[in-house]
Amino acid sequence: MSHHPPSTATRRAARPVLFTVLAGLAALAVQGAASPALAASATDLPPTGQTYDHYPAMKDVYKDYFTFGTFGSSADANAMMYEYASFTPGNEMKPEDTELNKGVFTFDAADALFAQYSALSPDVKFYGHTLAWQSQTPTWMWDAPPARFGQPGTFDHDTALANLDNHIDAVLGHFGSRLQAIDVVNEAVGTANPADWRASLAKGEGWYQALGADFVEDAFVEAAKVVDANGWNVKLTYNDFGLDSPAKAQVVYNMVKDINAKHAGERPNGKPLIEVIGMQDHDNLDTKASDVENTLKLFGTLGNVDVNISEMDIALPPGTLTPENENNQGMKYAELFKVFRDYAAGPANTTSNPHIITAVKLAGLRDAITGWKAGEFTMPFDSDGHAKQALLGILYPDEFLATHQYIDTSGGEQKAPVPGVHVFDTSKGDSWSGANIILGDDASVWPWSTTDDGQVAFRPEAGATYRLTVNYTAKGTTSIRERWVKDDTNGAYTAADGSVVNNHPFSANTVGNFIPAYFNSGMVNAGSYTLVNELTLDGSQQADGLIGNIAIRGGGGGNAFSINTIKVEKLGADGNQTVVNWPDGIPAAPATTLTYQGNNWVSVSLAAQATAPATLARTEYRIDGGDWVTYDQPFIIKRADRQTLEYRSVDSFGTVEQDRCVSVAPGDGTVNVQVTPDAASTCS
């Protein structure tokens, strides 16, 4: 069933006072819808918990700084048009929505949204998203196998380039007259290498597979032809996430600078080929405002390129919206909007900084219950449409920072590490949720598999079959992807993984049989599910194939989930062996005590113990290298036969005790021998 966070009024009724503000903080009289509160002094901020019409519109507060808009639609269209001066469709203009089949274009969904918002707000400005992207794009566009629509199906360069040009011509030709700007290329950078921006585009997926690093330039050249031929002033934008990272920001800077220099003077009125850099700005409480500002300073040195904050949100730990996290989110919004004001292109910015930000767009209005960032409480209004501290941080950044401070939310017990397993959880302060299972540290044995700390979860045996069992709780995200990654980082997916990861949907109760696997049906928010995948691992594939480390990631935009357990078993005819067990780890191997007593004929008994949480599966023995026999009761052997007795135990995890050995030979009189687990073996 759907899970709705408690209403703001309910949350606030039980909320303790967590921070001190100046006298009269919540005393400001809240005005009615026809006359919203228009200002706040350093001593007075309006209370939270009201609907949008009790506050100044965000678009009005920032109208002299930049255009304030939204990326993605909202169920409350009236509130959207009250708050936002621009609208960017979140999905409706993406390639799979506009040209799922070659040459068949569908624009109805985006047209309907444009018409709806124009009717509500005639002055609303429209932006486009996106023309060239490796995700949410049918793979036939870059001629990926298999052959479709009469194409070779071989990543053929000419076929892919023609598809790219045709798509840009049709989509931009249809929407261009209505747009302020359009994301021509989205998220092209993979692993950032500031020394080589072209190599940084080698993500092993999408347009790069057919066109190489030239696809970015190719797309902008074609888009410029369409725009300039029609005399439109549509700003051509490169859009990407994570640009608060110095390395990735430098890659984008170098790419834009080089491409623009190559095409300088080609467009009318001296326009550069790439006119805008879109900083998505998907943030969390760990985002540093100083990192964002440093990137703006860098982009400002380009001189003729604007910046749009294109898809902004600030994610919180999923589960429950705590007063502490809500306060801290307000702080983060306030810090970032102070930076945005200081680099705004509008006349209200009187600083000496580069005036480059022409638009800021939030990725929605209310906290999402399903879909992108669901359960992470990212927006200024909660899911019921009541204002949070985030709204005050946006509207009154100076006053908010003067009357609030960050609240320390660290603490809690740390689980003991399990070698080779990295589990991330936004509800515990990580920047994302998911897990990496490290399979090896020698690429010559297991392609692509590496680790920074030398810890390996297990080393697969080529041709062996393993069962991966993951139990997780959805806190907004209701799908999970199991993927191949090169190392123990969050995003270094192997070549070919990204191009097929969405093609294999499983339901929650389906046993998968390969990776990448996308479990994306049969699950609901707030449910807990056990997902099973049985796959035969073969390390013989080339390093540019799919083999790497196993990654568990959210689908559908998601950090909002928690992994509860991870188990990997090696399947075998004689039983299954657990090779990974998170969070408890694999218990120590079972320990067996051997006792034999008697004269010439001695009675042998074996007693074993397993370490919790494992239980004892079996104890077995063999004589003189014969077959292993499962022990169930004491047995008799003859000392005069000079026999070698081997024994061992196996627990419920499939963990096998190291073989132990004793020699039973003739001797004087009665024997009464006990060999404990810590005793040295008497034979080899």
Which are the catalytic amino acids?
187, 240, 311
Q: CA–CA distance from 22 to each of 13, 39, 156, 435 (Å)?
A: 21, 16, 66, 44
495: closest CA among 240, 155, 157? 155
One-letter amino acid at 107 equals: F
Cα angle 436, 439, 443 (rounded to 5 degrees) comes to 120
User: Distance of CA 592 to CAs 100, 548, 634, 671, Å?
Assistant: 63, 38, 14, 20
Tell me if 127 sits within 8 A of 86, measured CB to CB. yes
Q: Which residues fall within 8 angstroms of residue 144, CB to CB, at 6 or more apart?
A: 153, 155, 209, 499
Q: Report residue 492 as tokens.
A: 């270094």
Q: What is the Cα–Cα distance from 620 to 635, expressed in whole angstroms?
A: 12
Alpha helices in 18-102 (DSSP H): 58-61, 77-83, 95-98
Instruction: Return the H-helix or E-strand segment holding 362.
Output: strand 357-362
Residue 584 CA: distances (Å) to CA of 262, 264, 472, 650: 57, 60, 16, 18
Q: Is the CB of residue 434 less than 8 Å from the CB of residue 554?
A: yes
Q: 529, 535, 539, 530: which is closest to 515 by C-alpha?
A: 535
Strands 505-507 and 517-521: parallel
Q: Strands, E, within 363-450: which ranges?
A: 421-424, 434-437
**37 three-class SS:** coil
Report which of 515, 578, 569, 580 is spatially closest to residue 541, judged by C-alpha positions. Answer: 515
Q: Where do we find the tokens 């001190």?
A: 20
CA distance 317 to 304: 38
**546, 496 in Cβ contact below 8 A?**
yes
| CA pseudo-torsion sign 455, 458, 461, 467 | negative
- Name the one residue in this structure whose structure tokens are 């993984």: 497
Answer whether 243's CB lies under 8 Å from 298's CB: no
Three-state secondary-structure class, residue 229:
helix
Integer Cα distance of 148 and 160 in angstroms? 12
